[in-house]
Amino acid sequence: MNCPQPVILTKRAMDENSGEEIVTLVDNQTALENVSKLAASQGYAVVIETEGTDSHIHMTKEDACQCFQNAPEKDVAILIKSQYFGQGDDELGEVLMKSFFYTLTEMGPELKNLIFMNGGVHLTTEGSPILEHLQFLEQKGVQILSCGTCLDFFGKKDKLLVGQVTNMFTATEILTTAGKTLIL
C-alpha cells in the first residue's frame, strides 16, 4: 500500500487492540520506516522479521509510554508546501523564503517542528538555498521532517541533507497537536 495507508491501518489496529501485539506486513522500505516510527511514537517495542521482499513488523506495547502528548500552547509547527514563499514571482519567493528562515533562526525555543511537503522538500535537499538556516535550526533542537512520498516523487530521497523522512500520518499528528500551526 502507498503512504499513508500502512501507518493509518497500523494506528487503527493499535487503537482497537490496546495492549496486544500488532503485526504489520509491508513490502517497501518507506512503509517499514514509517510504521516503525509510528510504533516508537506510540510506545511500542519493534521487532522486524524479513521474508524475501516482505517485512513483518512486530509491535509490542512497552510499559512506560512516551507517546505524543498535546503540545504546550507555545509549541509551534510549520508546514512548508513550496520552495517559494507565497505566490507570484519565483525569484521574489526565493528571496522571501531565505529571509523567513533566517528570521526563524532568531526565534526562541517555541519552534518545535518544520514539516516539508510537496515542493517544500526541495529546501531540505541538495542545492537548497536555505540549508545553512535549516542546519542551524536542527542544531537548536527543531525537528525537521520531509515527506518520503514527496522525496520519492522528485527523485530526491538520496539527496536529503537535513532532517528526517516522515509520512503523512506523523505530519498530521504533529500539526494537529501543536499549540500553534503555520502553513506556508
- The residue among 30 and 154 whose pLDDT is bigger is 154
Local confidence band at 74 (pLDDT 50, 70, 90 cut-offs): confident
- 98 φ, ψ (degrees, to nearest 5): -60, -45
Please say if the pLDDT value at position 119 is more than 60.
yes
- CB-CB contact of 161 with 125 (8 Å): yes
Cα(96)–Cα(119) distance, integer angstroms? 16
Is 5-61 assigned to CATH 3.40.50.300?
no
Name the average pLDDT for the chain. 90
**Residues 108-137, mean pLDDT to the nearest whole number:** 96
CA–CA dist 75, 24 (Å, integer) = 32
Are the C-beta atoms of 73 and 38 separated by less than 8 Å?
no
pLDDT digits (tens, 9 = 90+) for 123-174: 999 999 999 999 999 999 999 999 999 999 999 999 999 999 999 999 999 9
* Predicted TM-score of the model (pTM): 0.73
Which three cell numbers mark 12? 487503527
- Residue 70's pLDDT band, with cuts at 50, 70 and 90, is very low
pLDDT of residue 2: 78
Q: pLDDT band at 73, cuts 50/70/90?
A: low
Domain boundaries, the chain: 5-61, 76-183
Task: Encode pLDDT of 41-63 as tens digits.
Answer: 889 999 999 999 999 999 999 86
DSSP per-residue codes, 60-104 = EE-SS-----PPPTT-EEEEE-SSSSSSS-HHHHHHHHHHHHHHH
State which fold the 76-183 domain adopts: Hypothetical Protein Ychn; Chain: A, (3.40.1260)
